[in-house]
Amino acid sequence: MGVADRAEGNPERIVTEFCAAFDRHQAEALRPFFTDDIVYHNIPMDPAIGVDATIAFIEGFFGMCDRLAIEIVHMAVVGDVVLTERVDTFIVGTTVADLPVMGAFEMRDGKICAWRDYFDLAQITTMLSGDI
Per-residue pLDDT band at 5 (split at 50, 70, 90): very low
Domain ranges of the chain: 3-128
d(CA 79, CA 99): 27
Pick the CATH number of 3-128 from 3.10.450.50, 3.40.50.2000, 3.40.50.1970, 3.20.20.140: 3.10.450.50
Phi, psi of 28 (to 5 degrees): -60, -25
Calculate mean pLDDT across residues 74-101: 94
6-30 confidence digits (pLDDT tens): 445 799 999 999 999 999 999 999 9
pTM above 0.85, yes or no: yes
Q: What pLDDT does 7 receive?
A: 45
Which residues belong to the active site? 88, 117
